[in-house]
Amino acid sequence: MLRTRAGNPHSSTLAPSSAAVADRHGVQRDGDVAEKPGGRSPSAAGARGARRTDGAACAPDTAESGMHSASNSRPDACAMSDADLDMAFDSDYEHFMRVAHDDAFNRNEAQLIAEVAELTPGMRVLDAPCGYGRISLELARRGLRVHGVDRRPPLVESALADADRAGLSVSAEVADLRSFRSAEGFDAAVMWFTSFGYGSDEDSRAMLRNLRGALRPGGRLVIDTFNPMYQYARAHAQSPQFIVWPRVGSDLMLDRFTIEHDAERVLAQRTVVRDGEVRDFSWSLRILVPGEYRQWLADAGFVDVDFRGEQGGSFDWTKRRMIVIARTPETDERATPTLCGLR
Ligand SMILES: C[S@@+](CC[C@H](N)C(=O)[O-])C[C@H]1O[C@@H](n2cnc3c(N)ncnc32)[C@H](O)[C@@H]1O
């Protein structure tokens, strides 16, 4: 485990016919779509103007990818591999997201998390996955004792370095949430910014079980993701959809989104233009409707599953975001099924 003492809007430009400027969730301002990863392979050749195609999660034109074609897919057939995750969350991800998510935005998110998870200073919070630590640091600033977990070492290192620079006490470790275990008894676990559902269904279910095991009795889990019903409605109105992420100097990042209905996944083909080099790859995310969240969370031992829209308000199909809130039982027994709150 790495430990340290110590503590980021927008794009413009070139838009294919239906492109929209992304808001800070990667959501089109006049509509929506999920947000996501990006990345530059350290080994990427830097030839100016070069185009690389790095493979894809479930993309139809990715013969070199280890991923399966979408044509006869089920959710697991389109699951992202470890190599896909590495590609999606390398230095390009941090490069663009640090601009898309500025300090004021991150503060606002931390405030929202504190509200929906009912956090008070001194509580122990698991930020999983933590990425480069933007949420961890803001929660630590609010007096919370934060531990971050992410499978990408460079992101964890960035989080700890930022915490050091800011004089904030944050701990973090490189770990895979599919196998992560902790007996810490955290008061809350935060899975923010569409971080759930890259892998197979069993991967995702394992993560829920592991988070449940890391929480104290009565501990809260909050998951922030796109609203599947809103996504389906948008896709019905227009597909594909495009997001142009905030520019970083002359660097650009563009996502082209479709929904793979058979695989029940959002599929994104991402193009990154950085330092004159063009790189294409894909990522995908499982779409779970509220009833599936309820079931998966109950199966993992959570109770009292609730849903909110963006900013913690009421939830319905018109909301772009969906915040899922659940808690572990007050006693350490497995959850029993409930009907309208009655056991
Ligand atoms: C979209 S980012 C969000 C990061 C952070 N929650 C935030 O709000 O900035 C998703 C993160 O999930 C991490 N991740 C994906 N699969 C993971 C896994 N199985 N275990 C741990 N981290 C994972 C990636 O490395 C990436 O940092």
- Flag whether pLDDT at 261 surpasses 90: no
Q: Whose CA is nearest to atom 4 of ligand 1?
A: 131
Q: H-type helices in 187-264, by residue range?
A: 201-214, 228-237
How remote is the CA of residue 193 from the centroid of ligand 1, in Å?
9
185 in a domain, yes or no? yes
220 in a domain, yes or no? yes
What pLDDT is recorded for position 48?
34
265 in helix, strand or coil?
Answer: strand
Q: If you search the block for the tokens 């992410």, which residue do you land on?
A: 150
Residue 97, domain CATH: 3.40.50.150
- Flag whether pLDDT at 73 surpasses 70: no
150, 173, 178: residue to mutate for ligand 1 pocket, most atoms within 8 A of CB: 150
**203 Cα nearest atom in ligand 1:** 19
Question: Residues 263-270: what's their mean pLDDT?
Answer: 93
**35 Cα nearest atom in ligand 1:** 1
How remote is the CA of residue 182 from the centroid of ligand 1, in Å?
18
22 in a domain, yes or no? no
Number of domains in the chain: 1
- Flag whether pLDDT at 64 surpasses 50: no
pLDDT bucket at 9, cuts 50 / 70 / 90:
very low
How remote is the CA of residue 92 from the centroid of ligand 1, in Å?
14
Cis peptide before 42 (omega within 30 of 0): no
pLDDT bucket at 263, cuts 50 / 70 / 90:
confident
Q: Whose CA is nearest to atom 27 of ligand 1?
A: 131
Q: What residues flank ligand 1, with Cβ below 6 Å?
A: 36-37, 85, 89, 129-131, 134-135, 150-152, 155, 176-178, 192-195, 198
- Against a cut of 0.85, is the pTM above it? no
- Flag whether pLDDT at 39 surpasses 50: no
Question: Residues 18-25: what's their mean pLDDT?
Answer: 44
How remote is the CA of residue 129 from the centroid of ligand 1, in Å?
4
What's the domain range around 119?
88-238+290-327
Token pair recorded at residue 267: 């599929």
Question: Residues 267-290: what's their mean pLDDT?
Answer: 95
109 in a domain, yes or no? yes
**155 Cα nearest atom in ligand 1:** 27
How remote is the CA of residue 195 from the centroid of ligand 1, in Å?
5
Whether the CA torsion 304, 305, 309, 314 is positive or negative: it is negative
How remote is the CA of residue 150 from the centroid of ligand 1, in Å?
6
How remote is the CA of residue 177 from the centroid of ligand 1, in Å?
9
What pLDDT is recorded for position 338?
56
What pLDDT is recorded for position 80?
95
Beta bridge partners of 21: 244
3 in a domain, yes or no? no
Question: Residues 227-255: what's their mean pLDDT?
Answer: 92
70 in a domain, yes or no? no
89, 92, 202: residue to mutate for ligand 1 pocket, most atoms within 8 A of CB: 89
What pLDDT is recorded for position 58?
60
pLDDT in tens, 99-115: 999 999 999 999 999 99
- Cα–Cα distance, 136 to 4 (Å, whole number): 13
DSSP type of residue 72: T
Q: Kindly list the distances between the CA atom of residue 73 and the CA atoms of 49, 150, 232, in Å, as whole numbers in the listed order.
A: 34, 28, 18
Question: Residues 259-285: what's their mean pLDDT?
Answer: 94
**195 Cα nearest atom in ligand 1:** 10
280 in a domain, yes or no? no
pLDDT bucket at 287, cuts 50 / 70 / 90:
very high
How remote is the CA of residue 336 from the centroid of ligand 1, in Å?
30
315 in a domain, yes or no? yes
E strands, 230-276, where? 241-244, 252-260, 265-274
Q: Which residues of 167-201 are buried (b: 16+ CB within 10 A; e: fewer)?
A: ebebbbbbbbbbebebeeebbbbbbbbbbbbbbbb
DSSP type of residue 248: B
DSSP type of residue 1: -
